[in-house]
Amino acid sequence: MENIKIKSTKPVFHGTTVNLPIDGEVFIEADGSLSVSKECAKILEGHPDFEIAVKKQAEDENPLSKESLNKLSLEDLKAILETSGVDEASYAKFLKNKALLIKFIIKTIE
C-alpha cells in the first residue's frame, strides 16, 4: 500500500497520536508530518487541519503550460507538434512567431 506524507496545520497536534479513518491510530511527528494511506489522504485532503505535504509534479505542473513551453526553442516546439501527429500545413504559418506557435500547441493538443 502506497503511503502519502501529509502535514498537520495545527501545532497542537504535533507530537501526538490521532485516530484517523481507515488507518486508525497514527503518530504525528514533532514537525507536524505523518504518513497515511492513499485512501486516508483523500479523506483528509479537504480538512482544514491537514494538507498534503508533497504533491507529485504531474499534479502540480501541466507539461504543456504556457510557462513550460516558453522555455523551449522553436525547434523543440515543432518537434512536439510532429510527434503528436499534427499536419505541418496547419502550423507552418506560426513557425516564425514563438508566441503564436505556443498558443496553437495549447489549443490543438489539449
Please indicate, yes or no, whether the overall pTM of this predicted structure exceeds 0.75.
no
**Residue-wise pLDDT tens digits, 36-87:** 988 888 888 888 888 887 654 444 456 677 888 888 889 888 888 888 888 8
For the chain, domain boundaries: 3-59, 66-109
Could you tell me what percent of the chain has a pLDDT over 70? 89
Quick one: how many helices (H) and strands (E) in the chain?
6, 5
Please report which residue ranges of 1-110 form alpha helices under DSSP H.
38-44, 57-60, 66-70, 74-83, 88-91, 98-109
Mean pLDDT score of the chain = 84
Q: In this predicted structure, what is the pLDDT of residue 61?
A: 53
